């Protein structure tokens, strides 16, 4: 599904005619595109469905902010050291118990801890290039509405229409609580698709021996989260 198709269908869902002048629309194509991009980012964040493997240069430090190197970084899935051995995930507390002076230890990396948004702590320090497989965020959708292009969302094709559900909910936030609350069934459909793919990714990541998996959202009280956000 192309960006134009998504924009047109979203405009139609919120009651706008995608064929009239932009000045006559209540929601502009730019607003719709922003909502679709936000929906895709949320979908990918919840499912960890996109990944990549890249070389990362260790420079002898014990801590690295990964977003400074990889702007699409979400979470590490697998790290290997320069000898090809797996670097095991740990908590910072585990590293302190293993070695009270762990930030100063040098040698082949054997463990790592991922904290905050992107802070990667490495035990042990070295200078080397190592491969890191990580879950990544999607490439931003762009459009020159009403012209079309070949770009499509990066999530699997069967889930791309679900971005429209989420985009409608996000757009309706400017209409006030009463109108916004009418869209919550669409958010429920979006989240059901999220959990469907997240379950498949969990199984895949377990088979691959990855260190991270999507959060099990069906264990969270999403209605309470939405109510707090809306309030």
Tell how strand 73-79 and strand 88-89 pair up.
unpaired
The rounded distance, in Å, linking the Cα atoms of 75 and 104 is 24
Q: What is the DSSP letter of 103?
A: G
Structure confidence by residue, pLDDT tens digits, 21-31: 998 999 999 99
Q: How many residues would you count in the chain?
A: 231
pTM of the predicted structure, to 2 decimals = 0.91
Q: Which of 14, 13, 7, 50 is nearest to 32 (CA)?
A: 7
Structure confidence by residue, pLDDT tens digits, 118-142: 999 999 999 999 999 999 999 999 9
The rounded distance, in Å, linking the Cα atoms of 169 and 59 is 45
The rounded distance, in Å, linking the Cα atoms of 193 and 189 is 6
Mean pLDDT of 38-64: 98
Question: Residue 47 has which token pair?
Answer: 């499912």
Three-state SS string across 1-63, please?
CCHHHHHHHHHHHCCCCCCCCHHHCCCCHHHHHHHHHHHHHHHHHHHCCCEEEEEEEEECCCE
């Amino acid at each position: 599904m192309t960006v134009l198709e998504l924009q047109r269908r979203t405009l139609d869902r919120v009651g706008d005619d995608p064929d009239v002048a932009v000045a006559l629309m209540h929601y502009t194509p730019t607003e719709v595109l922003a909502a679709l991009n936000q929906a895709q980012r949320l979908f990918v964040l919840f499912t960890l469905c996109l990944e990549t493997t890249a070389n990362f240069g260790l420079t002898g430090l014990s801590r690295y902010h990964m977003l400074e190197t990889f702007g699409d970084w979400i979470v590490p899935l697998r790290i290997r050291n320069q000898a090809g051995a797996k670097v095991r995930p740990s908590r910072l507390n585990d590293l302190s118990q293993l070695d009270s002076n762990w930030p100063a230890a040098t040698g082949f990396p054997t463990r790592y801890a991922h904290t905050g948004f992107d802070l990667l702590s490495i035990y042990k320090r070295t200078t080397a290039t190592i491969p890191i497989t990580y879950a990544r965020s999607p490439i931003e959708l762009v459009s020159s509405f009403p012209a079309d292009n070949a770009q499509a969302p990066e999530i699997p094709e069967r889930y791309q229409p679900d971005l429209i559900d989420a985009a409608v909910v996000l757009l309706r936030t400017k209409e006030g609580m009463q109108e916004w609350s009418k869209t919550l069934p669409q958010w429920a459909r979006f989240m059901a698709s999220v959990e469907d793919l997240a379950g498949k990714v969990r199984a895949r990541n377990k088979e691959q021996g990855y260190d991270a998996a999507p959060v099990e959202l069906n264990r969270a009280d999403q209605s309470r989260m939405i109510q707090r956000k809306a309030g």
